[in-house]
């Protein structure tokens, strides 16, 4: 099993939105970075753990736990000219963008970016690296355990 941190803008899809959906599932659509796409296409497996991270909002941070529930398939938004994620170079025969499906497990107390930065065990976490803007990053088992500790202790700040 692997672990991932996946960012979503809550104005587009929040942990609460996913928890209200049938089966508590959402396609992780709209990723337009090749490295993040490759994580989904090549590395993610059903059952992998996901830290559901709210970004580009007043209080960014980990807002829930989820899991990968379906392997990568072509992202249909790339073919829709009305979508903000439309890619005119993509075709159904040669898609460029993929997404996995994620199932929300549960909402957690918000673990703020400040709380993550203040946790010694997370100092090497990819999310916290200077200049990191990837919407999907791998999380080590030690980082996953440290974050679960923050969640369980309620010290998300």
The DSSP element (H or E) to which 68 belongs, if any, is strand 61-74
Contacts of 106 (CB under 8 A, 6+ apart): 19, 64, 65
**Can you tell me which residue has the tokens 């249909």?**
76
**With 90 as the cut, is the pLDDT of residue 154 above it?**
no
38: left (phi over 0), alpha (psi -120 to 50) or beta: alpha
**With 90 as the cut, is the pLDDT of residue 118 above it?**
yes
Average pLDDT over residues 77-105: 97
Q: What is the pLDDT of residue 153?
A: 87
**With 70 as the cut, is the pLDDT of residue 146 above it?**
yes
Q: How far apart are CA 73 and CA 80, in angstroms?
A: 16
**With 80 as the cut, is the pLDDT of residue 50 above it?**
yes
**With 70 as the cut, is the pLDDT of residue 98 above it?**
yes
Q: How far apart are CA 157 and CA 112, in angstroms?
A: 6
Contacts of 83 (CB under 8 A, 6+ apart): 77
Q: Counting Cβ atoms within 10 Å, is residue 1 exposed (0-12), middle (13-18) or buried (19+)? A: exposed
The greatest distance separating any two alpha carbons of the chain, rounded to the nearest whole angstrom, comes to: 49
What are the structural domains of the chain? 3-145 (3.10.590.10)
Q: What is the pLDDT of residue 155?
A: 66
pLDDT band at 88 (very low <50, low <70, confident <90, very high): very high
pLDDT band at 156 (very low <50, low <70, confident <90, very high): low
Average pLDDT, the chain: 96
**With 90 as the cut, is the pLDDT of residue 62 above it?**
yes
| pLDDT tens sequence across 5-21 | 999 999 999 999 999 99
Average pLDDT over residues 84-113: 97
Is 50 in contact with 63 (CB distance < 8 Å)? no
């Amino acid at each position: 099993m692997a672990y991932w941190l996946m960012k979503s803008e809550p104005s587009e899809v929040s942990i609460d939105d996913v928890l209200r959906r049938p089966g508590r599932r959402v396609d992780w659509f709209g990723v337009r970075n090749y490295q993040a796409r490759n994580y989904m296409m090549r590395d993610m497996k059903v059952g992998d753990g996901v830290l559901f991270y709210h970004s580009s909002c007043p209080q960014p941070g980990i807002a829930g736990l989820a899991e990968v529930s379906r392997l990568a398939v072509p992202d249909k938004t790339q073919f829709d000219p009305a979508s903000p994620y439309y890619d005119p170079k993509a075709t159904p025969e040669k898609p460029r963008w993929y997404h996995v499906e994620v199932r929300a497990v549960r909402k957690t107390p918000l673990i703020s970016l400040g709380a993550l930065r203040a946790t010694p065990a997370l100092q090497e976490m990819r999310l916290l690296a200077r200049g990191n803007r990837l919407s999907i990053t791998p999380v080590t088992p030690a980082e996953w355990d440290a974050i679960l500790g923050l969640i369980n202790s309620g010290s998300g700040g």
